[in-house]
């Protein structure tokens, strides 16, 4: 079985992972990404085709899709969600939605665990993780997590959006702090790792973990957290200027 992962909450990331959400033994096959800002609609479909070619499979061989729900900028996030919904509908395969910040927290935990115990031996240490992504308008999308020793990851706060100064104390109190927001505001949000954007393979791994815990992943509603820049006028305006 093959799963396609798509995330456009920041950079565009696409992954092919072998396995299914009913089992946690996933095989990451190929990942491609493009970090250019505001090019999501131009690069996403090309990345999907490229990663399928890397894996040597056709779209018809996909068994499911996991898509990042954000939070993220309105236009970029919509590109990924629309593409995922369209492909899933055409192929008649399941579509699952995951908060993008959850995936980045999973990446940070995986990286920290690998650095602390390269052989993977021993119990998992309890860790706290904070994620801060660039939300533009001098704000960050943020969440905080706690990973228990049994592997359960609890989201303790967020997702939310705020100026970095307002959340700096809470985020820097965590052992791990990652995300593109740390690169923009290093004095307020000093990073513990160079992880900036979501890797779509981790999106699929998080989906499998949440699925095993009985979480409902059927919603692919976007987590915009605020209104888009373009808004409908609240009152009808006369064409004559009166």
SS3 content of the chain, % helix, strand, coil (to 5): 35, 25, 40
Instruction: Residue 175: give the domain boundaries.
Output: 101-184
Same domain, 46 and 131: no
Q: What is the number of H-type helices and E-type strands within the chain?
A: 6, 9
Render pLDDT for 213-232 as a digit per residue (tens, 0 to 9): 899 999 999 998 876 544 44
242 residues of the chain, pLDDT tens digit each? 899 999 999 889 999 999 888 866 788 889 998 877 666 767 899 999 999 999 999 999 999 999 999 998 888 899 999 999 999 999 999 999 999 999 999 999 999 988 865 555 567 889 999 999 999 889 999 999 999 988 889 999 989 999 999 999 999 999 999 999 999 999 999 999 999 999 999 999 999 999 988 999 999 999 988 765 444 444 444 344 44
Our count of domains for the chain comes to 2
Q: How far is CA 197 from the centre of its chain?
A: 8
* Same domain, yes or no: 57 and 109: no
Q: What is the CATH number of the domain that holds 91?
A: 3.30.420.40
CA angle (224, 70, 163) in 5-degree steps: 65
Same domain, 203 and 91: yes
Instruction: Verify that 106 and 93 share a domain, yes or no.
Output: no
Which residues are bridge partners to 177 per DSSP?
130
Say if 16 falls within a structural domain. Answer: yes
What is the rounded CA–CA span in Å between residue 164 and residue 148?
A: 27
Q: Is residue 228 part of a domain?
A: no
How far, CA to CA in Å, does 76 sit from each of 73, 92, 235?
A: 6, 24, 29
Beta strand 27-34 pairing with 12-18: antiparallel
Same domain, 19 and 60: yes
Model confidence pLDDT, tens digit, residues 76-117: 899 999 999 999 999 999 999 999 999 999 999 999 988 865
Asked whether residue 189 is domain-assigned, the answer is no
> CA 139 to CA 142: how far, in whole Å?
9
pTM score > 0.75 for this model?
yes
85 and 172, same domain (yes or no): no
């Amino acid at each position: 079985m093959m799963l396609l992962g798509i995330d456009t909450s920041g950079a565009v990331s696409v992954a092919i992972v072998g396995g299914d959400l009913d089992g946690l033994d996933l095989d990451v096959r190929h990942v491609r990404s493009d970090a250019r800002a505001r090019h999501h609609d131009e690069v996403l479909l090309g990345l999907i085709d490229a990663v399928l070619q890397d894996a040597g499979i056709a779209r018809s061989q996909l068994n499911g899709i996991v898509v990042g729900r954000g939070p993220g900028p309105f236009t970029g996030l919509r590109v990924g969600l629309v593409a995922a919904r369209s492909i899933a509908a055409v192929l008649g395969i399941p579509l699952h939605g995951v908060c993008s910040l959850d995936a980045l927290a999973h990446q940070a935990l995986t990286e920290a665990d690998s650095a602390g115990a390269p052989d993977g031996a021993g119990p998992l240490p309890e860790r706290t993780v904070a994620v801060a992504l660039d939300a533009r308008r001098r704000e960050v999308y943020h969440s905080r997590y706690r990973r228990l020793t049994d592997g359960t990851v609890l989201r303790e706060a967020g997702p939310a959006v705020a100026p970095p100064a307002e959340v700096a104390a809470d985020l820097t109190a965590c052992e791990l702090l990652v995300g593109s927001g740390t690169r923009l505001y290093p004095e307020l949000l000093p990073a513990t790792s160079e992880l900036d954007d979501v890797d779509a393979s981790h999106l699929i791994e998080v989906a499998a973990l949440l699925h095993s815990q009985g979480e409902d992943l059927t919603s692919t509603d976007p987590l915009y957290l605020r209104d888009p820049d373009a808004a409908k006028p609240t009152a009808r305006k006369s064409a004559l200027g009166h």
